Amino acid sequence: MTVELAQLTAADFEPRLDDEFRLATEEGVIALKLVEVRRLGRALREGGAFALTFRSPPGPFLTQAIYPLKNTALGTVELFLVPMGPKEGDNCYEAVFT
């Protein structure tokens, strides 16, 4: 089941903090851990703007693109991930909803 992005709010992701989101690639599955949900204030979207921060094990970075991430509670969410660089030994990515 793919989730409709326009319907999602920060409140949908806050209970998923520390959850694993899995991404299937040609090289295998990458586990991304949701480590932060930041509310960014008002926006045209219902529920306001927010940003998600994910971390994955070190290795080659994913390029900036839309990826289908699977979570046991949310199903499949297609997110535009932006690599933010290494942080504390992990790869760091951000998805922003405005």
Rounded Cα distance, 76 and 23, in Å: 10
What the block records as the tokens of 82 is 């932006």
- Global pTM reads 0.89
Q: Under a CB-based contact definition with an 8 Å cutoff, are residues 58 and 72 in contact?
A: no
Instruction: Report pLDDT for 3.
Output: 61
Rounded distance between C-alpha atoms, residue 7 and residue 28, angstroms: 30
- Residues 5-53: pLDDT tens digits? 777 888 899 999 999 999 988 888 899 999 999 988 776 767 778 999 9
Domain that residue 36 falls in: 5-97
The closest alpha carbon to 13, from 23, 40, 28, belongs to 40
Instruction: Please count the structural domains in the chain.
Output: 1
